[in-house]
Chain A
Amino acid sequence: MIQIFVNANYDFVGKRRWFYAASAGLMLLSLIWILFAGGLNYGIDFTGGALIQVRYDKPATVDLVRRGLDEIKLGAAVIQQFGDAQEYLIRLPQVAENPETLSKQVRDALAKAAGGKVEIRRLEFVGPQVGRDLQLQALYAVLAGMAGILIYVAFRFHFRDGVISVAAIAHDVIVTLGALSITHRELSLPVLAALLTIVGYSINDTIVVFDRIRESRGKGVRKGQTLAELVNAAMNQTLSRTLLTSFTTFIAAAVLLIFGGEVLRDFAFALVVGVVTGTYSSIAAASLVLDWETWSRARPRSSGKVPAKA
């Protein structure tokens, strides 16, 4: 039979500062990139505006699309090839134009410039008010998801574990957002759905380890085994299953990325990144249990005295 990591005995706990540093570094990099370089590329779901997917009856170019659009003066359009050379995605900022006639106008103008037929395959128009409403709602949704998990984990395990879980989730979400920003992907409603899924799913590996730590401690700390050893053993014992469960979900997300088509591409990308970081962050999360414990035990004893530094 095939088995991985049967007698795994990696010293995760001993090297935990490296994992902390790597996680913090990734988060920092993502935040810096988002704040100072790439920014978050909000899609029309959040900003308002229009998105039009057109298909020509013969191969065309971005220039040809632009020439067609120039005729009707709709403002700064972003044009992007979408799949093959016959298909294009046009993004328009706030359209003053009446959305009732927008598709007809665009189709006629593009067809005229190309001297052929153009099909409007998809049109999305979001008014400015709806977009503003959504931005706030999206933030609330992610925060509510994290709060829900904080409460559940705190209730099932320990308040400490709840807080650490939320920190791990925040890490996963921020790194995923950073990856989206670096690759110039758009933050749309489906991508937000992916982020919320990550909130719920990426924490699973951490929960598996938490569960094992609790179980091991329930049996009582064995003689001569420190808490550090116990936590490390729990991580090693669950290593194969956390990797395997993430692996199958990773396969599913990767398949969507490859075969799901353009419409689902960004969504699948966010999932892939989230699943990977979620698995990785469980190492740092489990180690944090140890540091939290050490810290909270040291505190009452150290009151009034000079804390003993180990």
Chain B
Amino acid sequence: MTRRLWLRIGLVAFVAAVSVFYLYPPRKTMNLGLDLQGGIHLVLGVDIDKALQIQTDRTAERVRSTLEAKGIAVQKAERRGNTEIQLQLAAPTTWADAQTVFEREFPSFEVKEADQSAGRLVLAMRQREIASQRESFVRQGLETIRNRVDQFGVAEPSIQQQGENRILVQLPGVQDPERAKALIGKTALLEFKLVDDRVDPAQAAGGAPLPPTAELLYERRVDPETKQERRIPIVVQKKPMLTGADVADAEVRLDQGTQPYVSLTLTPAGGKVFAQVTTDNVGRLMAIVLDGNVYSAPRIQERIPSGQAQITGSFTLEQARDLKIVLKAGALPAPVQILEERSVGPSLGADSIRKGIVSSAAAALAVVVFMLVYYRLSGLIADVALALNLLILMAALAGFHATLTLPGIAGVVLTIGMAVDTNILIFERIREELRSGKTVRAAIDSGFARAFRTVIDTHVTVLVSAAILYQFGTGPVKGFAVTLAIGLLASLFTAVFFTRLVFDLMYMRGRKVESISI
């Protein structure tokens, strides 16, 4: 045999060997999609406007307290729109002092409107600051969700940014999608707020006006016997004493061995503030607020210097554990909203796999038998080429860490039908050349050469479709596009290169060939 022929045999053997290498062991290398193994796919939208509002609200409170600490009385400090603060000084004479405070303490804001004689002005967040905040909201959200998922314990989660303000979360094999969703979607903004006892909460709930520094919240209490839920109004100071950012660690403990609660260890700085606040407010109530709901409002009995705090409430062990996770992982910088969800139970996934295997086998069997009957020995060669094609396809999926989805399996089945097209085009051409009176060798030569051009054209059109599908599609549809494209590319190698090699080995060497089984 010639050197060239050996090289070609070597190449086919090499490709087959590499494919087997990538596929072994199959259970470990094949990445199953969420629709096959069960799991949950979420697209979350980060509410950036809301986050900016929260940010601005906090700054407004800070402006008020900073000014007042400097002896500048403030009549009003409120958010306007998403990123502006409307400010009314009690006395216009303090104008110049106030300006100095803004410049020194709030560099991320600029004075937008000013009426010195009335002592009124509007602070606006700088554009540069808004842009960097937007970016950091999504990045922090991503980071926080990743932390929560890591602590929740999911094998091979995928958490990525999608577009400008969307986060894609994929959790394969999750058994309890509801719990996972609650865990991921919770903003988990923890605040410690002093209860404002100047106001009667019942009246406030009835619509009585509140002082500008106070707000009305509710505590939900479930009666352990009747399971009835009650909403108890509580008026608290707007300004939080501490937030979740001051929490260093959280743990689930059991009260008297039965009732779970979450024990918090504060950061050193947080612990200092907590000690000071508890010293100054012995006898008052401190509300523990999570996402705007009061969990509990215990009375401060004495100074707490240890930096330890507790969140109690009527929760189950599981709820306590999830609360611990979100507190440890930190709050989302902005509320998130579920824009899209696809969850598949594990039993349906197993069903789909079974049906996928049956379909693949049935399609392969039908096509293999057809090729054998219609093209006999050449059909057998095409069938071997098809087997090689599927081997390469599977290995490529494993090698690229692509995910096999249900539409992906459909792509495999379709590949079975399309891959033999190439051989049909070639074989029909060879038959035609034979009919026109060419010798076997001449017919094979011109059959392959002439069909090749058509084969390329037909491949390109489907590849164009697959490329657009990949660009456009979401998870499962992408999987379909990938398998289709790989299967088609592989068929160029198997149905053209490999088949030609076998033909060359069988008919092109040594003595004269009289007939061909095609």
Give residues in A with beta carbon < 8 Å to B.
1-3, 6, 53, 55, 99-101, 103-104, 119-127, 129-130, 137-138, 140-141, 144-145, 148-149, 152-153, 156, 189-190, 192-193, 196-197, 199-201, 203-204, 207-208, 211, 215, 237, 240-241, 244-245, 247-253, 255-256, 258-261, 263-264, 267-268, 271
A160 to chain B, nearest CB (A): 16
CB of A263 within 8 A of CB of B421, answer: no
Cβ-defined contact, B347 with A121, below 8 A: yes
The CA-CA distance from A119 to B359 in the complex, in Å, is 26
User: Is the Cβ of B418 less than 8 Å from the Cβ of A201?
Assistant: yes
Q: Closest CB of chain B to A196's CB: distance in Å?
A: 5
Asked if B417 and A253 sit within 8 Å, CB to CB, the answer is yes
A192: chain B residues at CB < 8 Å are 477
A137 smallest CB distance to B (angstroms): 6
Measured CA separation A10–B492 after assembly (Å) = 33
Which residues on B sit within 8 Å (CB–CB) of A144?
468
A233 to chain B, nearest CB (A): 12
B454 touching A211, Cβ below 8 Å: yes
B185 at the interface (CB under 8 A from A): yes
Could you tell me the distance in whole angstroms from the C-beta of A198 to the nearest C-beta in chain B?
8
Bound CA span A289–B206, Å: 80
| In contact, B355 and A260 (Cβ under 8 angstroms) | yes
**Closest approach, in angstroms, between the C-beta of A190 and any C-beta of chain B?**
5
B181 within 8 A of A: yes
Within 421-469 of B, Cβ neighbours of A (below 8 Å) are at 421, 424-425, 428-429, 431-432, 435, 450, 453-454, 457-458, 460-469
Of B352, B464, B466, which one neighbours A149 at CB under 8 angstroms? B464
In contact, B414 and A148 (Cβ under 8 angstroms):
no
B413 within 8 Å of A by Cβ? yes
Is the Cβ of B465 less than 8 Å from the Cβ of A127? no
Chain B residues, CB < 8 A from A119: 345, 347
Chain B residues lying within 8 Å of A197, measured Cβ to Cβ, are: 414, 462, 465-466, 469, 484
Minimum CB distance partner of B419 in chain A: A248
- B345 close to A122 (CB less than 8 A): yes
Interface of B toward A, CB cutoff 8 Å: 35, 43, 45, 177-178, 181-182, 185, 337-345, 347-348, 351-352, 355-356, 358-359, 362-363, 366-367, 370-371, 373-374, 376, 406-407, 410, 413-414, 416-418, 420-421, 424-425, 428-429, 431-432, 435, 450, 453-454, 457-458, 460-469, 471-474, 476-477, 480-481, 484, 518
12 additional A-B residue pairs with CB within 8 Å, beyond A121-B345, A197-B462, A260-B413: A3-B431, A101-B178, A123-B342, A124-B341, A125-B340, A130-B339, A190-B476, A192-B477, A244-B374, A248-B421, A252-B413, A255-B363
Asked if A123 and B461 sit within 8 Å, CB to CB, the answer is: no
Say whether A152 contacts B414, CB under 8 Å. no
Closest residue of chain B to A211 (Cβ to Cβ) is B454
Question: Which chain A residue shows the least CB distance to B166?
Answer: A130
B407 touches A251 (CB 8 A): no
CB distance from B290 to the nearest CB of A (A): 16
Choose from B185, B410, B464 the contact partner of A100 (Cβ within 8 Å). Answer: B185
- Contacts A141-B469, A207-B454; is A190 near B477 (CB within 8 Å)? yes
Q: Which residue of A lies closest to B475 (CB)?
A: A189
Interchain residue pairs A-B with the least CB separation, the first 10: A252-B417, A200-B465, A249-B417, A200-B462, A261-B355, A245-B421, A241-B428, A121-B348, A148-B464, A125-B341
Whether the pair A123, B341 counts as a contact (CB closer than 8 A) is yes
Instruction: Contact check, B340 vs A152: say whether CB atoms are below 8 A apart.
Output: no
A263 neighbours in B (Cβ, 8 Å): 35, 352, 406
Of residues A103, A124, A256, which shows the largest number of chain B Cβ atoms within 10 Å of its Cβ?
A: A256
B425 touches A267 (CB 8 A): no
Q: Give chain B residues whose Cβ lies under 8 Å from the Cβ of A211.
A: 453-454, 457
Chain B positions within 8 Å of A256 at CB level: 359, 363, 410, 413-414
* CB-based contact B468/A100 at 8 Å: no
Q: How far is the CA of A130 from the CA of B181 in the complex (A)?
A: 19
Asked, given contacts A193-B481, A237-B432, whether A260 binds B410 with beta carbons under 8 Å apart, the answer is yes
Could you jot down 17 A-B contacts, CB within 8 Å? A127-B340, A130-B339, A144-B468, A148-B468, A149-B461, A153-B461, A190-B407, A193-B407, A196-B469, A203-B461, A240-B428, A245-B424, A248-B418, A249-B417, A252-B417, A261-B351, A264-B355
The docked-state distance in angstroms from the alpha carbon of A249 to that of B415 is: 8
Chain B positions within 8 Å of A149 at CB level = 461, 464-465
Q: Is the CB of A204 within 8 A of B458?
A: yes
Chain B residue contacts of A153, Cβ below 8 A: 457, 461
Interchain CA distance A32-B342 in the complex, whole Å: 34
CB distance from A239 to the nearest CB of B (A): 10
Nearest-neighbor residue (CB-CB) of A244 within chain B: B424
Interface centre among B177, B418, B461 (most CB of A within 10 A): B461
Q: Which residues of B contact A252 (CB under 8 A)?
A: 363, 367, 413-414, 416-418
Task: Please tell me if the beta carbons of A145 and B370 are within 8 angstroms of each other in the complex.
Answer: no
Residues of A within 8 A of B355 (CB): 259-261, 264
What residue in chain A is nearest B477 (Cβ atoms)? A193
Q: Are A193 and B348 in contact (CB-based, < 8 A)?
A: no
Q: Which residues of A contact B366 (CB under 8 A)?
A: 251, 255
A6 to B436, CA, bound (A): 12
CB-CB < 8 A to B458: which residues of A?
204, 207-208
Partner of A208, one of B337, B407, B425, B462: B425
By a CB distance below 8 angstroms, the chain B residues around A6 are 435
Question: Is the pair A193, B469 in contact by a Cβ cutoff of 8 Å?
Answer: yes
Contact, CB under 8 Å: B363 / A141: no
Chain A residues with Cβ below 8 Å from B484 are: 197
If A241-B424, A248-B367, A255-B366 touch, whether A125 touches B338 (CB-CB below 8 Å) is: yes
B342 close to A124 (CB less than 8 A): yes
Residues of B within 8 A of A240 (CB): 428
Check A129–B339 contact: CB distance below 8 A. yes
Please indicate the chain A residues that have their CB under 8 angstroms from the CB of B477 in the complex: 189-190, 192-193
Contacts A193-B469, A207-B458 given: A215-B406 contact, CB under 8 Å? Answer: no
Q: How far is the CA of A144 from the CA of B35 in the complex (A)?
A: 28
Q: How far is the CA of A196 from the CA of B480 in the complex (A)?
A: 11
